[in-house]
């Protein structure tokens, strides 16, 4: 065969596809996939709408011309596809960055969309519609690469419905137009859900690759009027950040620790709204600020005492290289975090300790001596930035022996810095005595911290409902020796102050705990209520290490399966057992009644027949197909007579004749005799097992009284209108 012949044969259209369900499902899956890419910002709006219209019109045209496709149409569509590829390669050659997947995804989505729109005009056969289904999956994968919200799951559900219906319609077409049964559709849907859940359950948690260029973007950015100034998320970019709810009128703040000084006497309102989402190699504290100066009620950050500037401006990025902060040791494993901002907030660049590089789409960043980072612009919803950190989370064994006998090099604190992190506004004789008593048997710094955390957990109560402090009261004294009630600020402050009374350098840190993990998007959804305060303690050779007596941070990213199991277990734990059990019990009882009524014989004759057949089988007799009820009863009576048992008042033969008269002649006994006959049949069924070992008449086929073959009849025909027994 020549090359031309091979090409012609490969492009020969298949038999026309007449299934409208198959065609509508394939077109619907493509439309949903295009809409999903549009919703994730992968397609321009005009292109998405135009492509959706072309897909619908093209499928209608293809259905109209399915029996007689236009010969020249393939050439025209091939030219469109070739032109689309030329545009794609020229675009990525001029705009794509090596290792930057985001620079390729948008052109790729446009390319696949153009191909699907052109292909819709030439889908006369089953093979062509199958290509449309497969192509829609590719578009959904491109959209999923940028999905950071579970609302994308709605597109997935609708697309999956179209895809499943398309596959079922294709199978029906391949089977010659066989009708789809509801049971088949339901079982197929259940199979898809089960297989999908199983795949998600075994998928390991993903990790970022260091050879990629990480995403960054700004939305609603306004330059900060004061370099390194802390501002809110207002429209002007120069609103001072202060304590408030993110849902309040000002829409800034939401946590006192993000407003400069940390006032432990009051607390801002925190809600369930998502502040930002984080994709990270491992969960940890997302640091915002640290504080070293304590005045009895509030924490503040003081300038370094060695004459270095408080903030250092970085202009070499992105990515920006972050210098090692005072007293820190940057030697842990690499951890990448990408933050997707969902609420307008402060110009703080959250990160895991210790940040070494930041991908931020701005000309400048500001880094403090403590390692905290601020941007030169405000950040609105839709902003994205990525941070690389070396998380130096030492093990308990390492911290237990830190500094004994020879400390590891690095992370030294000068005399001035040690004084900063041991500063107290006044002596705390009671708190110091309590700390010494609690740590009397704790020889090392780590052992002291653990002892203090255990005491706080056993003797204080976490609550946000705290009484206000008077101007003369000290937060720590009131918490430890007064009401012993407080939230993360009071608890962490008490731990930091007690450590300082023992000569251990400590500071207050604020930020967010990881928040709930979404196994579908692989993102931590950090809510406003996840704002938190904790303690950082300095260890020789290990730098600043985080300790938190109130919140738990998991050790590693959960697998999607573990996250789903955790969510299901939590949901089941919150289910009220008694009312739910009552409802399930009522449903089960109703189901049993429905099944019983469906299986119950419809007439008195049918019920009597069923009792005789069960009795024969229990007696060890085989009931052959087509055997009459009279023959079965005769063999059952023969088995009873061979056993020498007492004769019942009514024989099986008499019961069979009564059942056949009622079934064929419509003659039934009166109610009282009917009940007696049913009672006798039940007794015969219960006693039939004792006849199994007595021998008797061997099984035989159906025999009519005259020797003629009987028609196949296992259950006697029942007359119309016969009532239930």
What pLDDT is stored for residue 534 in this prediction? 92
Strands of the sheet with 262-263, listed across from one edge: 262-263, 298-300, 293-294
Between 160 and 378, the more confident residue is 160
Which of 4-13, 125-134, 288-297, 516-525 is predicted most confidently? 288-297
Split at pLDDT 50, 70, 90, the class of 449 is very high
Q: Is the pLDDT of residue 271 over 90?
A: no
Round the CA-based radius of gyration of the chain to a whole number and report it.
39
The mean-pLDDT minimum among 135-149, 472-486, 596-610 falls in: 596-610
3-state secondary structure of 389: strand
Strands (E), 586-644: none
Burial class (CB in 10 A: 0-12, 13-18, 19+), 715: middle
The two tokens of residue 346 are 């402060």
Burial class (CB in 10 A: 0-12, 13-18, 19+), 711: exposed
Tell me whether strands 373-375 and 485-486 are parallel, antiparallel or unpaired: unpaired
| Alpha-carbon span 281 to 391, nearest angstrom | 11
**What pLDDT shows up at residue 212?**
47
The pLDDT, as a whole number, for residue 424 is: 94
Q: Are 291 and 358 in contact (CB under 8 A)?
A: no
> Within 13 Å, how many C-alpha atoms sit on residue 389's CB side?
28
At 555-597, the pLDDT tens digits run 666 666 666 676 666 666 666 777 778 888 888 888 887 777 6
Contact call for residues 290 and 421 (beta carbons, < 8 A): no
DSSP string covering 65-126: TSSS--TTHHHHHHHHHHHHHHHHHHHHHHH--TT-THHHHHHHHHHHHHHHHHHTTS--BH
* Residue 407, C-beta contacts closer than 8 angstroms, at least 6 positions apart: 540, 541
List CB contacts of 226: < 8 A, sequence separation 6 or more: 238
Mean pLDDT score of the chain? 78
Tokens of 17: 């596809």
491 or 226, higher pLDDT:
491
Q: Which of 54-63, 216-225, 615-624, 663-672 has the lowest mean pLDDT?
A: 216-225
Lowest-confidence segment of 195-209, 423-437, 539-553 by average pLDDT: 195-209
Distances (CA, A) of 616 to 391, 527, 630, 634: 78, 70, 12, 10
Q: How confident is the model at residue 292 (pLDDT cuts 50, 70, 90)?
A: very high
Give every CB contact of residue 145 below 8 A, 6+ residues apart in sequence: 101, 105
Q: What is the 3-state secondary structure (H, E, C) of 479-543?
A: HHHCCCEECHHHHHHHHHHHHHHCCCCEEEEEEECCCCEECCCCEEEEEHHHEEEEEEEEECCCE
**In which element (H, E) is residue 337 found?**
strand 334-341
Please give the angle made by the CA atoms of 247, 254 and 301, to the nearest 5 degrees. Answer: 160
33-65: pLDDT as tens digits: 999 999 888 888 899 999 999 999 999 998 898
Asked whether the predicted pLDDT for residue 360 surpasses 50, the reply is: yes
- In angstroms, the CA 472 to CA 550 distance is 27
Winning range, highest mean pLDDT, from 227-241, 506-520, 710-724: 506-520
The pLDDT of residue 566 is: 65
Q: Closest Cα to residue 215, out of 362, 344, 360, 16?
A: 360
Q: Alpha-carbon distance 471 to 437, whole Å?
A: 29
In this predicted structure, the answer to whether residue 448 has a pLDDT above a threshold of 90 is yes
- Residue 20: predicted pLDDT: 87
Nearest Cα residue to 625 out of 527, 532, 564, 712: 712
Q: Would you state the structure tokens that stand for residue 552, as one six-digit string?
A: 């738990």
- What is the H or E stretch that residue 418 is in? helix 415-420
Confidence of residue 640 (pLDDT cuts 50, 70, 90): confident
Of 645, 646, 666, 648, the C-alpha closest to 612 is 648
Q: In Å, how far from its chain's centre is CA 548?
A: 27
Residue 509, pLDDT score: 92
**231 compared with 358, residue with greater pLDDT:** 358
- Count CB neighbours of 705 within 10 A: 9
Q: What's the distance, Cα to Cα, between the start and end of the chain in Å? A: 77
- Confidence tier at 634 by pLDDT (50, 70, 90): confident
Summarised one tens digit per residue, pLDDT across range 91-113 is 887 775 554 556 677 888 899 99
Give the model's pLDDT for residue 557: 67
Sign of CA dihedral 263, 264, 265, 270: positive
Alpha carbon of 555 to those of 395, 439, 560, 565: distances in Å? 11, 27, 15, 17
Please check the confidence at residue 696 and state whether its pLDDT lies above 50.
no
What one-character DSSP code corresponds to residue 691? G
Helix (H, G, I), strand (E, B) or coil at 277: strand
- As a whole number of angstroms, the distance between CA 155 and CA 38 comes to 11
Residue 314 DSSP class: E
How far, in Å, are 156, 257, 309, 549, 555 from residue 524 at the CA level? 20, 21, 35, 22, 14
Answer for the pair 132, 123: CB distance below 8 angstroms, yes or no: yes
**Hey, which of 153-167, 175-189, 598-612, 638-652 has the most confident mean pLDDT?**
153-167
User: 281 vs 11, which has greater pLDDT?
Assistant: 281
341 pairs with which residues across the strands?
276
Q: If you average pLDDT over residues 425-438, what whole number do you get? A: 94
Does residue 714 surpass a pLDDT of 60? Answer: no
Q: What is the mean pLDDT of residues 342-365?
A: 85
Spatial distance between the Cα atoms of 550 and 536, rounded to a whole number of angstroms: 14
Pairing of strands 365-368, 384-390: unpaired
* Cα–Cα dist 701/626, whole Å: 8
Q: Can you tell me the distance from the alpha carbon of 615 to that of 633, in angstroms, rounded to the nearest whole number?
A: 9
Q: Percent of the chain at pLDDT above 70?
A: 76
In angstroms, the CA 201 to CA 519 distance is 9
Bridge partners (DSSP) listed for residue 546: 536
Domain locations in the chain as residue ranges:
11-202, 256-566, 601-691
Q: For 533-537, what is the mean pLDDT? A: 92
- Helices 126-144, 102-119: axis angle to 10 degrees equals 160
DSSP 282: S
Comparing 33-47, 228-242, 304-318, the range with the smallest average pLDDT is 228-242
For residue 27, name the pLDDT band (cuts at 50, 70, 90). Answer: very high
CA distance 221 to 172: 55
HEC string for 137-201: HHHHHHHHCCCCCCCHHHHHHHHHHHHHHHHHHHHHHHCCCCCCCHHHHHHHHHHHHHHHHHHHH
Task: Categorize the per-residue pLDDT at 231 as very low, low, confident or very high, splitting at 50, 70 and 90.
Answer: low
pLDDT attached to residue 233: 54
Q: Which residues pair with 572 in a beta bridge?
A: none
Q: What is the pLDDT of residue 100?
A: 53
């Amino acid at each position: 065969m020549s090359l031309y012949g091979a090409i012609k044969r490969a492009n020969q259209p298949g038999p026309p596809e007449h299934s409208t369900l198959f065609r509508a499902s394939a077109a619907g899956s493509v439309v949903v996939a295009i809409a999903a890419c549009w919703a994730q910002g992968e397609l321009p709006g005009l292109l998405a709408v135009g492509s959706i219209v072309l897909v619908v019109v093209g499928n209608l045209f293809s259905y109209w011309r399915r029996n007689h496709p236009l010969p020249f149409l393939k050439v025209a569509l091939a030219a469109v596809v070739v032109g689309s590829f030329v545009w794609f390669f020229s675009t990525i050659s001029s705009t794509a960055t090596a290792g930057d997947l985001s620079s390729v995804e948008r052109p790729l989505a446009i390319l696949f969309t153009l191909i699907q729109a052109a292909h819709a005009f030439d889908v006369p056969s089953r093979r062509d519609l199958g290509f449309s289904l497969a192509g829609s999956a590719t578009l959904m994968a491109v959209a999923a690469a940028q999905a950071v919200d579970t609302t994308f799951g709605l597109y997935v559900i609708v697309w999956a419905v179209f895809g499943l219906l398309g596959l079922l319609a294709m199978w029906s077409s391949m089977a010659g137009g066989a009708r789809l049964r509801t049971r088949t559709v339901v079982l197929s849907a259940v199979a898809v859900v089960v297989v999908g859940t199983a795949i998600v359950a075994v998928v390991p948690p993903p990790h970022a690759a260091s050879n990629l260029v990480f995403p960054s973007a700004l939305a609603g950015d306004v330059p900060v009027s004061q370099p390194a100034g802390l501002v809110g998320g207002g429209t002007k970019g120069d609103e001072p950040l202060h304590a408030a709810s993110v849902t309040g009128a000002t829409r800034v703040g939401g946590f006192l620790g993000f407003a400069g000084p940390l006032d432990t006497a009051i607390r801002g309102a925190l809600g369930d709204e998502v502040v930002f989402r984080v994709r990270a190699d491992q969960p940890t504290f997302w640091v915002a600020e640290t504080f070293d100066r304590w005045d009895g009620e509030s924490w503040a950050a003081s300038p370094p005492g060695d004459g270095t500037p408080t903030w250092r401006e970085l202009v070499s990025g992105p990515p920006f290289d972050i210098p090692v902060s005072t007293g820190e040791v940057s030697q842990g494993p690499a951890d990448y975090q990408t933050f997707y901002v969902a609420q307008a907030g402060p110009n703080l660049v959250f990160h895991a300790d210790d940040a070494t590089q930041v991908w931020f789409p701005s000309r400048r960043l500001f880094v403090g001596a403590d390692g905290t980072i601020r941007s030169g612009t405000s950040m609105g919803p839709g902003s994205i930035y990525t941070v690389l950190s070396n998380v130096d989370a030492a093990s308990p064994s390492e911290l237990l022996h830190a500094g004994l006998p020879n400390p590891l090099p690095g992370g030294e604190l000068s005399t001035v810095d040690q004084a900063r992190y041991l500063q107290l506004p006044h002596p705390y004789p009671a708190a110091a005595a309590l700390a010494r008593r609690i740590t009397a048997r704790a020889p090392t710094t780590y052992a002291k911290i653990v002892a203090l955390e255990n005491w706080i957990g056993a003797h204080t109560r976490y609550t946000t409902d705290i009484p206000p402090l008077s101007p003369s009261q000290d937060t720590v004294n009131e918490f430890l020796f007064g009401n012993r009630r407080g939230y993360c600020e009071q608890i962490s402050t008490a731990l930091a102050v007690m450590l300082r009374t023992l000569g251990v350098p400590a500071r207050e840190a604020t930020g967010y705990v990881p928040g709930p993990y979404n196994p579908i998007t692989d993102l931590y959804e950090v809510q406003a209520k996840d704002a938190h305060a904790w303690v950082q303690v300095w260890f020789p050779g290990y730098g600043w290490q985080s300790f938190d007596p109130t919140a738990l941070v998991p050790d590693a990213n959960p697998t999607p399966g573990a996250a789903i199991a955790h969510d299901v277990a939590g949901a089941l734990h919150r289910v009220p057992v008694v009312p739910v059990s009552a409802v399930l019990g009522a449903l089960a009882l109703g189901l049993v009644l429905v099944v019983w009524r469906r299986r119950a014989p419809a007439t008195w004759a049918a019920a009597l027949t069923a009792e005789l057949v069960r009795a024969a089988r229990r007696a060890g007799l085989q009931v052959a197909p087509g055997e009459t009820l009279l023959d079965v009863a005769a063999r059952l009576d023969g088995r009873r007579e061979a056993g020498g048992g007492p004769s019942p008042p009514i024989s099986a033969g008499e019961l069979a004749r009564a059942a056949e008269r009622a079934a064929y002649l419509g003659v039934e006994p009166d109610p009282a005799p009917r009940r007696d006959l049913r009672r006798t049949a039940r007794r015969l069924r219960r006693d039939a097992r004792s006849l199994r070992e007595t021998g008797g008449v061997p099984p035989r086929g159906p025999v009519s009284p005259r020797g003629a073959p009987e028609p196949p009849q296992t259950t006697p025909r029942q007359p119309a209108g016969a009532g239930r027994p």
